[in-house]
């Protein structure tokens, strides 16, 4: 295992607390945990792209970062208005 | 040691630091239960965490399109994360208090609380004035000439209903602004906007004549001591 794979494994372990936090607390607190999970997922994708020799994997990471932001905003809007 | 070895060691250290920061944030978000407490753990991960990891990758890879993409990813994350945190905090506060405003009792500083109370008071007065204008529903012409019609020489005339003419917005705005005590605030009086118009004029007249104002009198008493 090289260092990128070790980092990826460590960050994947970090997704577990985020998942636990998504199941506890108020709706807003769960949303925050979901946002952090999205950020961790972006970092995991970044480390996978660093390990990979295919440069287009990084495009997926960029797209994931953008989608995580838009999805978080949509959830926030929904939370503030309808829930 | 060659440059390659230094870069390798540095990238390992940066990667370990970035991953460590993110893991600490993940643990902290489980420990904290409140929404606003949890929001504090997003910021280190989205700035320090991704910054260290991006730098580690940039150091270990040759310069090229990959470097640019990673820099772009870092910029996107750093820019969008505060926006998302703010939107989440706003939604959570609106859910809790039903509106997005600061209550005076939430402010720690007395001066801030006084300013906030003054702004709320001004907003309340403007709302009342707008409501009274809407209730009067007089035509703009009557509002300008004080309710005297062209044919009635000084006689009082019942206000007519609003005509099809568009309202004179400037006159209405000036009528509202005339009731704002902040416009009559004398310079150098930070608390003047929370007072009524007569009190502000009184303070201003005292300053012009050289008489001590309430604030300066209190200061003088404080300097004299018990």
The token pair at A7 is 């980092």
Does residue B34 belong to the interface with chain A, where contact is any CB pair within 8 Å?
yes
Backbone φ/ψ region at B98: left (φ over 0), alpha (ψ -120 to 50), beta: left
Are the CB atoms for B45 and A39 separated by under 8 Å?
A: yes
**Nearest CB neighbour to B95, from listed A24, A36, A80:** A80
**Nearest CB neighbour to A80, from listed B15, B42, B94:** B94
Backbone φ/ψ region at B29: left (φ over 0), alpha (ψ -120 to 50), beta: alpha
Q: Do A66 and B76 touch (CB under 8 A)?
A: yes
Q: Which residue has the higher pLDDT, B66 or B184?
A: B66
* Alpha-carbon distances of B50 from A15, A21, A37, B75, rounded to whole Å: 15, 21, 13, 10
Alpha-carbon gap, residue B183 to B199, rounded angstroms = 13
The token pair at B202 is 């009184």
Does residue B74 belong to the interface with chain A, where contact is any CB pair within 8 Å?
no
Q: Do B45 and A36 touch (CB under 8 A)?
A: yes
pLDDT tier, A70 (very low <50, low <70, confident <90, very high otherwise): very high
First to last CA, chain A: 45
Are the CB atoms for B175 and B143 separated by under 8 Å?
A: yes
Chain A, residues 1-60, CB within 8 A of chain B, namely 3-4, 7, 10-11, 13-18, 20-21, 24-29, 31-33, 35-36, 39-40, 42-43, 46-47, 50, 55, 58-59
Alpha-carbon gap, residue B42 to B168, rounded angstroms = 51
Give residue B51's pLDDT: 94
Give residue B30's pLDDT: 93
Are the CB atoms for B200 and B192 separated by under 8 Å?
A: yes
In chain A, residues with a C-beta closer than 8 Å to the C-beta of B72 are 62
The token pair at B92 is 């959570």
Q: How far is CA B138 from the centre of its chain?
A: 35
Q: Please give the model's pTM, rounded to 2 decimal places.
A: 0.63
Q: Do A24 and B33 touch (CB under 8 A)?
A: yes
Write down the ipTM of this complex: 0.93
What are the pLDDT digits (tens) for B23-46?
999 999 999 988 899 999 999 999
Are the CB atoms for B182 and B119 separated by under 8 Å?
A: no
């Amino acid at each position: 295992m090289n260092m990128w794979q070790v980092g990826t494994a460590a960050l994947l372990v970090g997704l577990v607390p985020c998942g636990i936090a998504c199941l506890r607390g108020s709706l807003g607190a769960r949303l925050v945990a979901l946002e952090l999970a999205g950020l961790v997922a972006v970092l995991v994708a970044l480390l996978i792209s660093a390990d990979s020799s295919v440069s287009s994997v990084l495009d997926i990471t960029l797209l994931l970062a953008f989608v995580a932001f838009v999805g978080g905003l949509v959830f926030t809007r929904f939370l503030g208005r309808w829930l | 040691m060659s440059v390659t070895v230094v870069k390798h060691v540095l990238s390992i250290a940066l990667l370990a630091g970035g991953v460590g920061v993110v893991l600490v944030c993940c643990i902290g978000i489980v420990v904290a239960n409140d929404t606003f407490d949890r929001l504090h753990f997003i910021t280190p991960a989205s700035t320090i965490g991704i910054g260290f990891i991006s730098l580690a990758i940039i150091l270990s890879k040759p310069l090229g399109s990959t470097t640019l993409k990673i820099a772009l990813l870092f910029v996107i994350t750093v820019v969008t994360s505060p926006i998302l945190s703010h939107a989440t905090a706003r939604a959570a506060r609106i859910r809790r208090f039903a509106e997005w405003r600061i209550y005076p009792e939430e402010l720690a500083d007395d001066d801030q609380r006084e300013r906030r109370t003054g702004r709320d008071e001004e907003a309340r007065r403007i709302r009342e004035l707008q409501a009274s204008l809407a209730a009067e529903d007089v035509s703009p012409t009557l509002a300008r000439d004080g309710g005297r019609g062209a044919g009635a020489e000084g006689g009082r005339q019942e206000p007519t209903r609003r005509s099809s003419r568009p309202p004179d917005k400037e006159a209405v705005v000036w009528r509202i602004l005339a009731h704002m005590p902040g416009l009559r605030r004398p310079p150098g009086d930070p608390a003047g906007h929370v007072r009524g118009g007569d009190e502000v004029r009184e303070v201003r007249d005292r300053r012009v004549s050289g008489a001590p104002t309430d604030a300066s009198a209190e200061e003088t008493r404080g300097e004299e001591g018990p």
